[in-house]
Structure 1
Amino acid sequence: MANVPLVVFNNGRSCPVIGLGTWKSKPGEVAQAVKDAIDAGYRHIDCAHIYGNEKEVGEALKTKFLEGVIKREDIFVTSKLWCTFHRPDLVEGALKTTLQNLGLEYLDLYLIHWPQAYKEGGELFPIDDAGKAIPSPVDYLDTWKAMEAQVDKGLTKSIGISNFNKNQVDRVMESARIKPAVIQIEIHPYLNQQKLIDHCKGLGIAITAYSPLGSPDRPWAKPGDPQLLEDPRLKSIADRYSKSVAQVLIRYAVDRGLIVIPKSVTRSRIQQNLDVLDFQLSPEDVELVASLECNGRLCTMGDVHHPDYPFHDEY
């Protein structure tokens, strides 16, 4: 069994530093991926309503519970509140839908997926005739109060935020009764997010890195886009440690004190991605990887005209 280190949150709860990401894992693939991950020793699964695959994740969890491989308290499960459910009266229903899909009575962590609210009651991506997202006037501070109520009700153990910028983090911190335990943001060597990481660590917020491998299967990738996993500078580092580039990237996140959630549906890679606990990058190599920073954000929502869209701001 892989002895994955834990990060302790500001509320005393803990989370394995390596988890399985499920974004873009297709129906028909994700259940097997989750089963393979649990068999390999993963005890942290990252989900979201918008991924459209939580029912299958739930089927995999149920199988592993029934097989006696894990008990509920052995596994850390995260999900996320989608933008069309920010209105405070919709938050509990959205969380309960996720719990029903996952077959769970509570989550370990529930995040506000993005700071911007969209029009409620219809499509998950409501757009107007001009193809622009239709905003909702809900303030994410009101959404946060409803998130706090879910902790009070025992439906989630911890709450947090995702894709928020520094100013938005600060607004939540100033008004929060229950502080965010975690912020989940895109982090990899092309976008190493040092300023935001330092800021959030200073506030006692743990950081989860998504797309740590540069999200090579992102749907909007264009031919000729730089591929992190193909970067010759990373390949030379990986060769020195007799590891894959992916393993170096996951280790880079762990060495920076981050939680990291690489996504894969391939059994051998799922195993490989966990096989990073037997080496550590030298301080020189951590600096070398950090030098690849080029503000290379890969995961935006495109042309979003919304006042709360986080990437209008510097960081």
Structure 2
Amino acid sequence: MSDRITTPHLSIPRLGFGTWRLSGAECQAAVESALGLGYRAVDTAEMYGNEEPVGAGLKASGLSRGEIFLTSKVWWENLGRIRQHCEASLSRLGTDYLDLYLIHWPSPDIDVAQAMHDLARLREEGLARAVGVANFPAGLLKRAIETGVPIAANQVEYHALLSQDRLLEVTRAQGIVLTAYAPLAQGRLASDPRIGAIAGRHGVTAAQVALAWLLRQDGVNAIPKASRPETQKANLEALALAAKLTDTDVAEIDALPKDQRFVNPPFAPDWAA
């Protein structure tokens, strides 16, 4: 299994570093640590309020810009000014381009055609090398695909307690990467006894097993957040574990209830759409 996913639209590390709820000096230190350990993808967003420390961490790492896959996102209330907000993100991050720029959430009244057109312009002009969406259910993703704009990724909540089978049918058929955020169900899977039993058979942690279950899937990458270097390292080790999970392990995780969604703000779309 390759450590990267390559499609006609992008080549992205299978495991990236998420920065939601990291801020200030802690965020910068976490980004530096992650890059030092070997992460090569960093995910942020204008809504996180941490693009400046993320950018500082990238610079302090000593890595060249081309070695790092950098993702940011435009907030749903700003879809009428996508270019302006992308440029502001670039300024805060201290970079000339993003490897991936996403619509963070669809607004309740989203003009899909206009939003995708505006993203396409960023790609054509080199501000973003690839573009995509986040939190788009299958029906809305199909509408975005119908605009003809190349969609590189759809970033959604995905973990061992929430099925994304319906969405994966669409993304895999279209060569779209499904990026799993909250891949440990906001920490719940780290203490799940059912996954813990599988972890015991391998001499690893439940969190590593839960991540490995995602990382072994076709067209899926994950962006766990971890501020501590020890946790960052443990998450990286899940890449190797992904190839070691047995059919029995996978079947046991597949059999867990898959209807538990933990990120569902008032402005969220109809997930069944």
TM-score normalised over the length of structure 1: 0.82
Cα deviations by residue, 1:278-313 (Å, 9 ceiling, x for unpaired): 332112211211211331000111x33xxxx42x24
> Which residue type is aligned with residue 31 of structure 1?
Q
- Kindly indicate whether the alpha-carbon contact (under 8 Å) linking 1:10 and 1:205 is maintained by their aligned counterparts in 2: no
Cα deviations by residue, 1:13-71 (Å, 9 ceiling, x for unpaired): 30110000001113231110000000000000011110011100011111123xxxx11
Please list every run of 5 or more consecutive structure 2 residues that lacks an aligned counterpart in the other structure: none
In 1, Cα distance between equivalents of 2:144 and 2:119: 12
After TM superposition, the structure 1 = structure 2 runs for residues 121-270 of structure 1, keeping only pairs within 5 Å, are: 137-176=109-148, 178-216=149-187, 227-257=188-218, 258-270=220-232
Q: Is 1:58 the equivalent of 2:29?
A: no
Partner of 1:125: none
> Which residue type is aligned with residue 225 of structure 2?
K
Corresponding residue pairs, total? 270
Partner of 1:278: 240
- Kindly indicate whether the alpha-carbon contact (under 8 Å) linking 2:32 and 2:61 is maintained by their aligned counterparts in 1: yes
In 1, Cα distance between equivalents of 2:127 and 2:170: 29
After TM superposition, the structure 1 = structure 2 runs for residues 6-85 of structure 1, keeping only pairs within 5 Å, are: 6-11=4-9, 13-65=10-62, 70-85=63-78
- Kindly indicate whether the alpha-carbon contact (under 8 Å) linking 1:7 and 1:17 is maintained by their aligned counterparts in 2: yes
Cα RMSD of the aligned pairs, angstroms, is 1.5
In 2, Cα distance between equivalents of 1:47 and 1:172: 22
Partner of 2:106: 115
Q: Percent identity of the aligned residues?
A: 32
Q: From the two aligned structures, give the one with the greater helix fraction.
A: 2
Question: Greater CA radius of gyration, 1 or 2?
Answer: 1
In 2, Cα distance between equivalents of 1:51 and 1:139: 24
Inter-CA distance 171–51: structure 2 relative to 1 (3 Å threshold): same
- Kindly indicate whether the alpha-carbon contact (under 8 Å) linking 1:4 and 1:277 is maintained by their aligned counterparts in 2: no
